[in-house]
Amino acid sequence: MFEQTFKNIDDVLWKEAGCTTELDYTEQTSWILFLKYLDDLERERALAAELVSKPYSFIIDKPHRWSKWAAPKKSDGSFDHDKALTGDDLIAYVDEKLFPYLKSFKQKADGPSTVEYKIGEIFGEIENKFRSGYSLRDALELIDALRFRSQAEKHELSALYEAKIKNMGNAGRNGGEY
């Protein structure tokens, strides 16, 4: 399941002017995949807290959660194309609002061992290389279809990601050493 999605994302990135190497493909897929995974994890934790009548404090503020900007849904759970950003609006949001917001976590964190600090560190080092908001929208929709619920799914994702990292070594710049 994940293998074909990764190939489809690579096809999207291949057409993208800002992405020219396997290193770019992996970096761009990674930040999107990370935000999707984090959103799924936070929703799972919020549900678990609700089941035991405890509050849950989300790491990501509501306007910047995956379900708000990357994959807005209608009340029936279907994708809401009317609310989804595309084109220049999507690129502007990611470059001017989302990435600066995520980079700011490093300064707001209680210390370097916190998740918030790590998020700030990660997004302080990378940049959005998508130049077409339509290509980014395609990649977001492909990743939104992924689910990380079972151990088998998590194992498959890990194996595919390791293969991508190994391929980065062929892209130069010490890519395979991460």
* Domains held by the chain: number: 1
Domain that holds residue 115: 2-169
Task: Determine the pLDDT at residue 170.
Answer: 55
The Cα 60–Cα 38 span in angstroms is: 9
Tokens coding 82: 């009317």
Asked if residue 112 belongs to a domain, the reply is: yes
CATH assignment at residue 152: 1.20.1260.30
Task: Determine the pLDDT at residue 36.
Answer: 93
Asked if residue 174 belongs to a domain, the reply is: no
Asked if residue 134 belongs to a domain, the reply is: yes
Asked if residue 161 belongs to a domain, the reply is: yes
Task: Determine the pLDDT at residue 19.
Answer: 86
What does the pLDDT profile of the chain (178 residues) look like in tens digits? 677 888 898 899 988 888 888 888 889 999 999 999 899 989 999 999 999 999 999 999 999 999 999 999 999 999 999 999 999 999 999 999 999 999 999 998 899 999 999 999 999 999 999 999 999 999 999 999 988 766 776 666 677 667 766 766 655 554 444 4
Asked if residue 178 belongs to a domain, the reply is: no
Asked if residue 75 belongs to a domain, the reply is: yes
List the one residue out of 27, 165, 83, 153 whose CA is nearest residue 145. Answer: 153
Asked if residue 114 belongs to a domain, the reply is: yes
Contact (CB, 8 A) for 160 and 5: no
Asked if residue 176 belongs to a domain, the reply is: no
